[in-house]
Structure 1
Amino acid sequence: MAGFREPTDVAALRTPLDAARLQSALCSREDAAFYTHVDVVEETGSTNADLLAVAPTGADRRVLLAEFQSGGRGRHSRTWNGVPSAQVIASVLLRLPGCPLSDLGWLPLIAGIATVDTVRSVGGVPAQLKWPNDVLVDGRKLAGILVEVASTSPEPTAVVGIGLNVTLTAGELPVPTATSLFLENASGLDRTVLAETLLTEFADRIRAWARAGWNTAGPAVAYRERCGTIGQNVRAVLPGDTELHGVAVDVDDQGRLVIRPDAGGEPVAVAAGDITHLRPA
C-alpha cells in the first residue's frame, strides 16, 4: 500500500452523502443541467438494477446513489457488494438518441476516464485505467464500472454503474488486490465532493461526445492518455477460453485493445476478454 492508517481513523470520515447538495449542484445549474434527478438511498440490492427497472417509463439522466449496496454485480456476473458509507456507489440512466449501437461500448470507457480524472483531481491519487474500465493504483483496483443496456429502440438506453472505494480499510477490502482512497493516502475523502465531481466529469464527457456527433476519436485520445495497459506485457483470455500473449500497443478508435502477439504476426484488436498485466521477464 502507498500508506497506512489505523482502521479507527475512518469512523469520522463516513458521513452521509449530502443529497440536497448533489441535487442542487447537478440538477439546478443555470447553464442547463445535464441530470434530471438525483436520488440517494440508504440501502439497495443494486443501483443498476433499480434504474433498469424504471427505464421503460421513459426516464432519462437519472442518478441513483446508495450508502450501501448488498447485491452489486460486476463483469461476468461477479458479485460486488459495499460497505456502508465507505464508497461512492452510483448509477446513471442515460438515453443516447443518435448514438450508433456499435459505439455503446465506449460508455464504460468514458466512465473510466471520468473516474480517473475525479480521483486525480479530488484525491491527488495517480490512478490509471486497466483496459477496458478498471481503475487501478499501482496495480490495485480502486474502482469498477458496469454498463448494462436497457433497450436499443427507439434510442439506445443504458445504465452506467460506478463503484469507487473511498474509506475501506485493509480488512474491508473485497480482495487483497483492491485498494481505497483512504489506503492510498488521498488528500480528499469527502464522498459528496467525489460524487459531485465524478458525475460532473461524466456529464461533460457525454455532452462533448454528443456534440461531436458520437465520433469516438476524442474519447479515444483521452482514454489512451489515461490507460496503463498500453505498453504492458499482457495475457488476454478471449471468448472461447483461448489465450493471447503479447504487448498491448494501442487502444483503437473502436475502443479495442491492440496486442502485438509474442508469437509474431499482425497486431490483434481485442474487443472483449479478461486482461492480465504480466511482469516483465
Structure 2
Amino acid sequence: MWTDLNRPPLDQASLRRALVRSDGNSDARAFWNRLDVVESTGSTNADLLARASDPGADRHVLIAEHQESARGRHARTWVSPAQAQISMSVLLGMPGLNLADMGWLPLLTGIAVVDALRTVAEVPAELKWPNDVLIGDKKVAGILAEVARTTPEPAVVVGIGLNVSLGAEELPVPTATSLLLENAETVDRDTLVRALARELARQFRGWENSGWDTGALAAEYRERCGTLGKRVRAVLPGDKEVFGTATDIDTSGRVVIEIEGSGGETFAVAAGDITHLRAAPITD
C-alpha cells in the first residue's frame, strides 16, 4: 500500500492500453508485446534475462516500483526510495543484426531517453559517453545493456534508471540529480514511461528499417553527446588513463580522444570510464 501522495504508483492498466499491441490497443504504432509493473524485485534486467531463452518473450517491458538489487555498469549497485524513480527494462530481439553491432543498442537507448526528456520533461538533457544522461553536469539517468542471447537471433536486455522525484538528501552521490530538482515540466511517471517506451520503439524501428545502419545512428548520437569537445579523462581496463579532448564518436560507437601533448594523436575508447574535466590551464 502506498502512502506518499507525491509518489503515486504507476497505472499498469493505463500503460498497457497505451503501449501494448495485444491489450486492446488499436494504435497501429504500438510496438510492445507485453508490459508488467511489479511492486518489488531484485533487478528488472535479471528478471528479463531469465526469460530470454524464449523468443516469444521479446518486446517485453518490465517496470519495478522498487528494485532491491539494482545494478549499473561494472556491477555497481544503488538503492532508491520506492516510486521515486523509473526502473524499467526491455527485452529486444534483433533479427539480422551483426553481433559486432550489439553494443549500439545502449547508445540508441540513450538517444531515446534524451529525446523523451527534452520533449516531455522539457529539460536540457544530453549524453555523456557511452550512455549516461546528464542535465548540466549531473546524472539524471543511467542505462545498462546485457546480452540476453546470440541464437537463434541476437537479443539484448536494456535497463533504464531515471531519477524522477528524489530530493537532494536522497541522491546516491553529489553528482546525481532528479527531474524534480531540475524543475522539469512533469514528474508524472506514467507520462514519462509512455514517452520513454514510445521514443525507444521509434528509434529501434528506425534502426531496424535502416538495415541496422550504424553510420546514421552514429550521426544521431553525436548530435546529443555532450562529451564531444570536452576535455576528458578515460580510465581504461587495467587502470590505464588517457587525457585529452573528445573529438568524435566513430561508427563502432567508440569515443575518439585527441591525446594531450601528442601532436594530434588520437585514441578510440571502446570500454572505460569517462570523466568530463575542466579545460586545461593556459601556460606560456
**What is the TM-score when the length of structure 2 is the normalising length?**
0.93
1:106-128: per-residue Cα shift (whole Å, max 9, x none)?
11111111111111111111011
Aligned residues: 272
Pick the aligned partner of 2:95 from 94, 97, 106.
Answer: 97
Is the counterpart of residue 31 in structure 1 residue 28 in structure 2? yes
Specify the SS of the correspondent of 1:182.
coil
Pick the aligned partner of 2:156 from 130, 155, 158.
Answer: 158
Pick the aligned partner of 1:107 from 101, 105, 108.
Answer: 105
| Cα drift, residue 21 of structure 1 | 1.3
Work out the CA distance in 1 between the residues paired with 2:26 and 2:236. 44
> Residue 266 of structure 1 corresponds to which residue in structure 2?
265
Correspondences of 1:236-251 after superposition (within 5 Å): 236-251=234-249
The residue type paired with residue 165 of structure 2 is T
Work out the CA distance in 1 between the residues paired with 2:17 and 2:144. 26
The residue type paired with residue 123 of structure 1 is A
Note the residue ranges of structure 2 that are not aligned, 5 or more in a row.
Answer: none
Note the residue ranges of structure 1 that are not aligned, 5 or more in a row.
Answer: 1-9
| Cα drift, residue 84 of structure 1 | 0.6
Specify the SS of the correspondent of 1:248.
strand
Pick the aligned partner of 2:46 from 28, 46, 49.
Answer: 49
| Cα drift, residue 239 of structure 1 | 1.4
| Cα drift, residue 220 of structure 1 | 1.0
Work out the CA distance in 2 between the residues paired with 1:124 and 1:213. 32
Work out the CA distance in 2 between the residues paired with 1:102 and 1:266. 26
The residue type paired with residue 45 of structure 1 is G
The residue type paired with residue 134 of structure 2 is L
Pick the aligned partner of 1:77 from 65, 75, 78.
Answer: 75
Work out the CA distance in 2 between the residues paired with 1:127 and 1:187. 13
Asked if structure 2 preserves the Cα contact closer than 8 Å seen for 1:250 and 1:257, the reply is yes
Correspondences of 1:1-281 after superposition (within 5 Å): 11-27=4-20, 28-58=25-55, 59-264=57-262, 265-280=264-279, 281=281
Work out the CA distance in 1 between the residues paired with 2:104 and 2:81. 29
Work out the CA distance in 2 between the residues paired with 1:247 and 1:29. 49
Work out the CA distance in 2 between the residues paired with 1:126 and 1:138. 7
Asked if structure 2 preserves the Cα contact closer than 8 Å seen for 1:61 and 1:92, the reply is yes
Structure 1 stretches (4+) deviating beyond 6 angstroms? Answer: none
Work out the CA distance in 1 between the residues paired with 2:53 and 2:266. 42
Identity of counterpart residues, as a percentage? 58
The residue type paired with residue 84 of structure 1 is A
> Residue 7 of structure 1 corresponds to which residue in structure 2?
none
| Cα drift, residue 29 of structure 1 | 4.4
The residue type paired with residue 269 of structure 1 is A
Specify the SS of the correspondent of 2:120.
helix
Asked if structure 2 preserves the Cα contact closer than 8 Å seen for 1:13 and 1:190, the reply is no
The residue type paired with residue 267 of structure 1 is T
1:75-99: per-residue Cα shift (whole Å, max 9, x none)?
0000032221111110001111101
| Cα drift, residue 32 of structure 1 | 4.8
**What is the TM-score when the length of structure 1 is the normalising length?**
0.94
Larger RCO (alpha carbons 8 Å, 6+ apart): 1
RMSD of aligned residue pairs (Cα, Å): 1.3
> Residue 6 of structure 1 corresponds to which residue in structure 2?
none
| Cα drift, residue 226 of structure 1 | 0.7
